[in-house]
Amino acid sequence: MRHYVLPATITALSLLAACAEPLDRDDPATAPSWNLPDPEEDPGCQGWKCTGNSPVMSGYGFIELHENQVANDVGFRLHHLRKEGIVYHPDVRGDRLYGLGAGGAIALAGPALEHAELVLSRDGTPGEFAIQIHKVNNLVTFWTAPYTTIETYELTYTGPDVAKRTPLCPNPPPPTTGDGHMWAAPGEAILFSGDRYDPNKRIIASTPTEAGDWFNIGCAGSALAKLHLNRFTAAGKRPAQPATSRAERQDVLAMYTGNVCGTGTAYTIPDTQIRWASRNGYHQMGAFATYEAVWGGGRAVCMSSWRLDATHPELREQMKLECGELPPCSQALLGSWQTRGTVLSAVP
């Protein structure tokens, strides 16, 4: 996977998208943050795992854990949930965490999870890691109807080399998004199951069935959190309606991360404002200056402008070298864009 690290003066962290208003911000994680290594210099720190506001423990970035002690891609194994010396089995159902007792009955849920901890080990590292649950909140709602609440978790961690409790999500976004909406819990994370992601290729890597017992940790401000808040996850489906398709979710992810060619290269930077509409009507286009692109098949299928044309025109040539020259989004194509893709983006 290639990516382009742009000047340090423009490496601000990405913000969460607006609640009901379509002004949004992309989340490429193309530049280093939190004093972590530049992915260009450290091949072990790739994709969005080590940048932006994604989970990090002892310098290891990750986005998922397995409920049954299977190691994730950086070797972390989740063993159990523990509170006051009692051990429970962790179970993420949809977008809620539960602690299961004997026989699989729910023993911990909601506020009862506060002061519990997820106990982990890491392959090749002696000692115990723990993710502490300090708070369980219901302040955040979905950004598209129905505007039901989502459970969020304030998480810290300790480890063999980290005695002090340290935020698992190290770079919380500002509490106010670009259009004035509030992120009620910028220091917290959403847990959800049903999708797996390849953070290097920036793709959805499984069906809900294939995802099995894996669950994601979507820190506030991250692409994963935005996908769920917009109901573009299996766990975020509207009640009594089919879930969005994997292809639809992939196109929204490509749009957010600037994955123009569908190769995993992110041609964008954090905190760049964008507007967009989805074919299924979940997200509506607000006022904008110019159309940007139609997204289908996990990439841009046409492009009239680019969100960074004014500040980084060189990106257009880099796109052309990687995936050829994209056709402009003609009036005819824009008039029937829903037949060519699932997402239409614009520059405000």
**What pLDDT, on the 0 to 100 scale, is given for residue 176?**
56
The whole-number pLDDT of residue 9 equals: 26
| pLDDT score, position 28 | 41
> What region does 132 belong to: left with phi over 0, alpha with psi -120 to 50, or beta?
beta
| Domain range annotation of the chain | 8-347
What integer pLDDT is reported at residue 26 of this predicted model? 53
pLDDT in tens, 96-118: 999 999 899 999 999 999 999 99
Q: What is the pLDDT at residue 133?
A: 99
Query: What predicted TM-score, i.e. pTM, was given to this entire model?
Result: 0.85
In which band, very low, low, confident or very high, does the pLDDT at 243 lie, cut at 50, 70 and 90? confident
More confident residue, 2 or 203: 203
Backbone angles phi, psi at 225, to 5 degrees: -60, -40
pLDDT at 172: 87
